[in-house]
Structure 1
Amino acid sequence: MGLPRKLKNINAYGANQSWLGVIGEFEEPKLALATDDWRGGGMIGPIKIDKGLEAQEATVTMGGHTPELIRMFGTTDVAGAPMRLVGAYQADDGSAAQAVEIYLGGRFSEIDLGKSKAGDETEHKYKCAVAYYRRVVDGVEEVEIDMIAGVFRVDGVDRYAEIMAILTS
């Protein structure tokens, strides 16, 4: 029997600075295939046909006022608000902590500044439409997705390389 690795702490980097002590929460993009149902002649039911990837979104919640991130809103660059998120995961079984790094290239599609009241908690939420995503665990790349360049690599295998080779030759 084992114990799960749980997030012990987190930091964020963006706008040329560290957000240690400011970041409250991070929601990674969902990894989802875009599919359509297909039922051809002779088939007894439909199957899901791979049509690429779904759009990705990530959300970062900061514990207070972060004007540097607000100033990134409205950038015309689809990857104009890059961020790096670093998490330390550890199981309570004496095993070593594990580094998980998330690299995002995107832009804020929504900034929720929430409610402001003197003496109360203040949270700002930044929703990012993701154009680039990379997840690295202990220095090993698990996933890299570059929507514009056509890169869809999982565990070192570029699942879209064959198609891109046809398109660029």
Structure 2
Amino acid sequence: MALPKKLKNMNLFNDGVSYVGQCKNVTLPKLGRKLEGWRGGGMDGPVKVDLGHSDDGIQLEWTLGGWDLTALRQYGAVSASGVLLRWAGAVQRDDTGEVSAVEVVVRGRHEEIDLGESESGEDTEHKFNTTCTYYKLTIDGNEEIEIDLLNFVFKVNGDDRLAEHRKAIGL
């Protein structure tokens, strides 16, 4: 019998600046595919055809306790990949004590900054929603998933799933 790996610690970096002690939480991006049903002649039912990544895009949501000028000054970044965020997590199995390093790197820009409620003598939190053009998930040094929307790259466990598509269209 085994116990699941659970997040024990984490940190968020914004353009290399550590938010240790400041980052309250991070909602890692939901990965989705756009699938459309197709039922042609001679088919007894529909098959969902993969049309690429979801129209919902890749979003990273994160909350800081208090004011941070680094993130605020990134608002309205001209480049779609103008902000680099790196989330590092330590997950551990309680049966063996084994610790794994999990890392998510994204590039994008802040779509929304919620400065929240302000009240004297009360806690202050700022919430950020960063829409991403790039995503990479690495676990224990192995690049599990890499998505680069601007450069037409989609890799899973080293398998470049768009290589033949790039070749077919001359990229």
Fold equivalence (TM over 0.5): yes
**Structure 1 stretches of 4+ moved >6 Å:** none
Name the residue aligned to 1:111. Answer: 113
1:82 counterpart SS class: strand
1:60 counterpart SS class: strand
Q: Is the 8 A contact 1:15 1:69 kept in 2?
A: no
Take 1:19 and 1:166, find their aligned partners in 2: how far apart are those partners? Answer: 43
Unaligned residue ranges in structure 1 (runs of 5+):
none
Among all aligned residue pairs of Structure 1 and Structure 2, give the percentage whose two residues are the same amino acid. 41
Q: CA deviation at 1:107?
A: 0.4
Name the residue aligned to 2:64. Answer: 62
Name the residue aligned to 1:95. Answer: 97
Residue deviations 1:72-112 (CA, integer Å, cap 9, x gap): 01011001111111001111113321110110001000111
TM-score when normalising by structure 1: 0.96
Name the residue aligned to 1:51. Answer: 51
Take 2:114 and 2:69, find their aligned partners in 1: how far apart are those partners? Answer: 13
Take 2:134 and 2:61, find their aligned partners in 1: how far apart are those partners? Answer: 14
Paired amino acid for 1:60: W
Q: Which of 119, 122, 136 is 1:120 aligned to? A: 122
Alpha-carbon RMSD across the aligned residues, in angstroms, is: 1.1
Aligned residues: 169
Name the residue aligned to 1:33. Answer: 33
Q: CA deviation at 1:121?
A: 1.9
Moved more, 103-112 or 9-18: 9-18
Name the residue aligned to 2:4. Answer: 4
2:83 counterpart SS class: coil
Take 2:170 and 2:76, find their aligned partners in 1: how far apart are those partners? Answer: 32
Unaligned residue ranges in structure 2 (runs of 5+):
none
